[in-house]
Chains A and B, each alone.
Chain A
Amino acid sequence: MKAVASYGIVNADTSGPGAFLRAAKWYWDELTDMFAAAGFTSVMIPMVVNTENVSRNGAPICTASVKTRFGSPAGYLAYLNEKGIGNVECIGVTAQSMYNSLFETGLPMEKFFDGFYDYAMDAAEALKELKGSTLLASPTPGIGFLRLAFDGDEGKMDKFLKDSAECMNRIGADVKGLGINLAIRNEYWTELRGAGIDSYMELLDPAKVSFAPDPAHLHIAGADYLEVFRKYAGAAKAVCFTDTKFTDPDGVYQTISPEFPQDGAAQRVYWDLGYGDMDFAAIYKILKETGFDGPVLLESKYSLDIPKGILRLRTFWNRLEKNYAKEA
């Protein structure tokens, strides 16, 4: 297994006051050094759609920004190599980012998946240059956002879900030609929440698209995450590790603020890896038993203290490996 540190540890907008700092290249220069100093040689980058507002920043979170500052993804890879990072193993693309960009780009919902396809292929081509293996895709925006877009019309939402599967098959086929795998993520607040992944995977061609299970998202949606890992680990090209203590008793997944619950006893969803309730020792054991040998995405999503969070990632992974070796 290969530990891959995710840049998703940063939420450019909410990881503390001073969002302008996190939009600047120098901030990410230092962050890159921190990941290398913590012993990570491979990273995952969640990339958003290229829009003017994001592209002008120095954060390497869209291909336009990478190309402006480093000339090309290959130029960015040379920069990463110089700092001790060997490759970008995975890039994440999300339908939520696509949805968020519609306001700025003016693209209508009817053209949603044309736009998503272009966004995903652009990311996959960059990933090839970055010596990566897997494009991670989250196929639908949040349920709350879709209900708004379709006025709660369940028929339209069902069709949208089927269209998304068609789009994933198309992306999966075309990224294969680039030597890239396509893996699906299932956030608890999208249409693919929890056990819903089973019926969705039936719409997909297993030769082109795999599933990258994530315990926190499965758990919040009420699924037995260990069972899901047992079912999908064998065919997985990548898996995601996110931690949580959140259980969503109030159905926040349906709102337009699903990752920041506005009410209830717990208002924080994601926890730094090792600080939540997920049983990663059991997951690690399942992965070993099934012979999984791909990238493990370590994502302390939206950590509240980024430098400390990066060190915690390393501590988490070291302990996991050490404890497994001890038991074995």
Chain B
Amino acid sequence: MANNIKLSHMSHWKTVPYKQIDNFRDYYYEDKSNACYYQDWDRILRYHKATGYDGIELAPWDLAEILGLFGTPAEFTAFAKDHGIEVSGMFHGCDDSHIPEKHDEVVAAGKAAVDTLKAFGGKHLNTCPGNNFYGNGPLDDAGLRTIASCLDEIGAYAEANGIQIGIHNEFFCVTNKENHRQLIELTDPRCVHYCLDTAQVVLMGDDVIDFYETYKDRICTFHWKDTADLGVPDEIRYAKDVEICDDGHRWFWEPGEGLLPMEELWKHVAAYGFKGWVTIEDDGSPDYLAAMALSSYYMKQVLGKIYW
């Protein structure tokens, strides 16, 4: 297998309460269940390595707990490295970026996120460009430009610090089907890249192959996941609290379990010769360990035969 692709996994385990469970056998006997298998970073990082991942992408909402357990980003990174895992990146949300009065605050938060990721040794700051559509959209051109100016400033700072920010749009985001491509055009290609979330773009109603071909020069990394919803109606995407469905409907599936043309898209990736991190994101799965294994199998045994 060639070595153009490094596989990472977005951490959706939520709060992991322990760094390491030392008394694993005793803990098991307390409940005689599998709970102790999912409570510490030591084992979760082992699962990353065992299922074929090279990296982990951090979630910012976990940082307080991670730093509580490890003290510093460097300690976490060293611990992960001991398990054969690198920090590939971190997610970031540019809330309020469409509000001109919030510009400085949003840029400061973005720069702080860059600093944090740098301290973890990561490369990709995958950045949701704004709030949810509900309560904030639709945006006019001025609103889009306001977001773009925030991204440009954060992006310039990131480049200077060896970090790449990648726009990570979401299907319920304030920049949406009608204008998400326009936002990309408004940003500086020298310092604002794109993290292609394969499912989010399709959920918005865009064509993922066409999108890739159009923006392949801007795409610095991927959130690779599947979906069975090809184009969600406006009234759903623009409604309140869309991401976690009340009835349990899943927007996202492990690669190969949905309807996306994964192999076709991968052939385009291969033809372009993309090199770098591809991150599996399996939010919504009821069993992350199984999801990690299923996803890794698909990436390496199905897509890996096309390109790796």
Task: State yes or no: do A and B come from one complex.
Answer: yes
The number of residue pairs between A and B whose CB atoms lie closer than 8 Å in the complex comes to 86
User: What is the number of residues of chain B that contact chain A, defined by CB distance less than 8 Å?
Assistant: 39
- CB closest chain-A residue, reference B290: A17
From 259 to 296 in chain A, residues with beta carbon under 8 angstroms from any chain B beta carbon are 259-260, 262-263, 265-268, 271
Q: Interface of B with A (CB < 8 Å)?
A: 12-23, 26-27, 30-31, 33, 35, 38-39, 61, 64, 68-69, 240-241, 243-248, 283-289
Interface range for A: 35 or more
B-binding residues in A (CB < 8 A): 12-14, 16-21, 23-27, 53, 55-58, 68-69, 103, 256-257, 259-260, 262-263, 265-268, 271, 304-305
Q: A14-B15, A26-B246 are in contact. List 17 more A-B contacts (CB 8 A).
A: A16-B35, A17-B287, A19-B12, A19-B14, A20-B283, A21-B286, A25-B246, A55-B241, A56-B240, A56-B243, A57-B241, A58-B241, A69-B246, A257-B68, A262-B20, A266-B26, A305-B33
| Residue of B12, B17, B21, B246 touching A257 (CB-CB under 8 A) | B17
Write the chain B residue with the least CB distance to A24.
Answer: B244
Known A17-B288, A26-B246, A257-B69; contact A267-B35, beta-carbon cutoff 8 A = no
**Interface contact A18-B31, CB-CB below 8 Å:** no
Please report whether the interface of chain B is mostly helix, strand, loop or mixed according to DSSP.
loop
Chain B residue contacts of A21, Cβ below 8 A: 286
Minimum distance in angstroms from A18 CB to a CB of chain B: 5
**CA A78 to CA B284, docked complex, whole Å:** 29
Q: Are A16 and B38 in contact (CB under 8 A)?
A: yes
Residues in B with CB closer than 8 Å to A58 are 241, 244, 246
Cα A53 to Cα B241 with chains together (Å): 10
CA–CA, A132 and B243, complex, Å: 32
Docked complex Cα distance between A254 and B56 (Å): 31
The distance in angstroms between the C-alpha atoms of A19 and B240, with both chains bound, is 20
Contact between chains at A24 and B246 (CB < 8 Å): yes
CA distance A56 to B33 in the complex (A): 31
- Bound CA–CA A265/B288 (angstroms): 28
Query: If the complex has contacts A26-B248, A56-B244, are A256 and B68 also in contact, measured as CB distance less than 8 A?
Result: yes
Q: When chains A and B are docked, how far (Å) is the Cα of A257 from the Cα of B18?
A: 9
Q: What is the distance, in angstroms, from A283's C-beta to the closest C-beta of chain B?
A: 23
